[in-house]
Amino acid sequence: MAPTAHAPAATVGTLAGAITPTVGALAGAAAPAAVRTLTHATTSTAQALASLIRAAAPAPAPSGPRTPTPAARSLARAAEVALTAAATWSVIGGTSLCREALTIQDALAAGELDAARRRLPHLCGRDPQALDGQQIARAVVESVAENTSDAVVGALLWGALGGVPGLVGFRAVNTLDAMVGHRSPRYRRFGWASARLDDVAGWPGARLTAALAVLAGPDPRGALRAWRADGAAHPSPNAGPVEASFAGALGVRLGGTLAYGGRVEHRPVLNAAGRPVETGDIARAARLSRRVAVLALATAVAARPVLRGAGPTARRRLAAAVLLGAAGAARTGLRRGARSAGEGPAVRPRAAGSARVRPLAAGEDRP
């Protein structure tokens, strides 16, 4: 409890009560009259001093909440901005994503296929030794597309919805899926739960990424057409729309035959009318990723004040809409996973833009 203005008076009274027995003990029984006289004088003096302090002290302040001063509000706002900036810098992985992609492109352009194979695990979990130059380029473009959603747009969207907890929480879910979201005896249950949670958390960001790729890409009609035609064919409910939209925007063909852990898988082709991916398409995909990131940042910055000022009813409706769509994505992922389990283990590539992907062990697979 905070001290009041009457605390000095109470302190003096307590001090007087403590002095009285002390003086008596020091004087002893030899001079009882002197002790009584000294005790009476001390007590009278303390009481008089306490009365003077009570009369001079101001009235106690009310016990209600204090109104922060303008300086305190400014300091709190500055601290909030600094914390948000630090969290955003640590969570967003767009810069490292494009840097890794362009490093692989430089290696391919120089004819250094072995160097490109060594760098590929920084982006995805495919078996690089089974890929030629064109297949490596296609893998990089697909990884840039998917991680634009995972490492940039999804994080910004959840940051706009939930602030710093939304940023950090989304990144934790995405990283957990990248580390243990594998269908294997070791991660059978924990990995399954991580993968499904990532499906739910990544659903709104994937749709926003696909929409922004339509707006920012060199071929908006092609991006929209590929998204609508092929987005649902991908085993991942979130990677499909993003990769299809990027494929249509860039005019290339993605999907098809993949190699994971020494095993070959045949996936649906995205934007079948496009041409095969070339080495130079990696830089085009990186430029598109940057444009999408800028649009996503502008969207998040514009939406954050609106979401913070929205009433409880509007926020509940928005949360219900997001959860409803995410639940549908998770159910779709479960259904596709069941079909894949019957046809053979399906691979769900997962790469975090700012973190390396753990290589798959023998017999492991990403759900």
Residue 327: predicted pLDDT: 55
- Give the DSSP per-residue string, 7-44: HHHHHHHHHHHHHHHHHHHHH-TT-HHHHHHHHHHHHH
pLDDT at 221: 95
Question: What is the structure's pLDDT at 351?
Answer: 40
Q: What is the 3-state secondary structure (H, E, C) of 50-100?
A: HHHHHHHCCCCCCCCCCCCCHHHHHHHHHHHHHHHHHHHHHHCCHHHHHHH
Q: What is the CA radius of gyration of the chain?
A: 33
What are residue 269's DSSP bridge partners?
255
pLDDT for the residue numbered 50:
57
Over residues 40-82, the pLDDT tens digits come to 555 565 565 556 556 555 555 556 567 778 888 888 888 878 8
What is the reported pLDDT for 126?
79
Place of tokens 């594998």: 182
Q: How far is CA 137 from CA 46, 119, 273, 281, 290, in A?
A: 90, 12, 18, 8, 18
- pTM here? 0.68
Task: Give the C-alpha separation, 295 to 300, whole Å.
Answer: 9
**Domain extents in the chain:** 94-343
Sequence-distant (≥ 6) Cβ neighbours of residue 330 within 8 angstroms: 196, 199, 200, 203, 237
Residue 272: other Cβ atoms inside 10 A:
14
pLDDT at 353: 39
pLDDT by 10s per residue, the chain, length 367:
444 444 444 444 554 455 445 444 444 444 455 545 545 555 565 565 556 556 555 555 556 567 778 888 888 888 878 888 888 888 888 889 999 999 999 999 999 999 999 999 888 877 888 788 999 999 999 999 999 999 999 999 988 888 888 888 888 888 887 777 666 666 667 677 788 888 889 999 999 999 999 999 999 999 999 999 999 988 888 999 999 999 999 999 998 877 665 667 778 899 999 999 999 999 999 999 999 999 999 998 888 777 766 656 665 565 555 555 555 545 554 444 444 433 333 334 444 334 334 334 434 444 4
Beta-carbon contacts of 221 under 8 Å, excluding residues fewer than 6 positions away, are: none
Please write the tens of the pLDDT for every residue from 268-297.
899 999 999 999 999 999 999 999 999 999
pLDDT at 193: 79
Q: Which pLDDT belongs to residue 11?
A: 46
Helix, strand or coil for residue 133?
helix
In total, the chain counts a number of residues equal to 367
338: left (phi over 0), alpha (psi -120 to 50) or beta: alpha
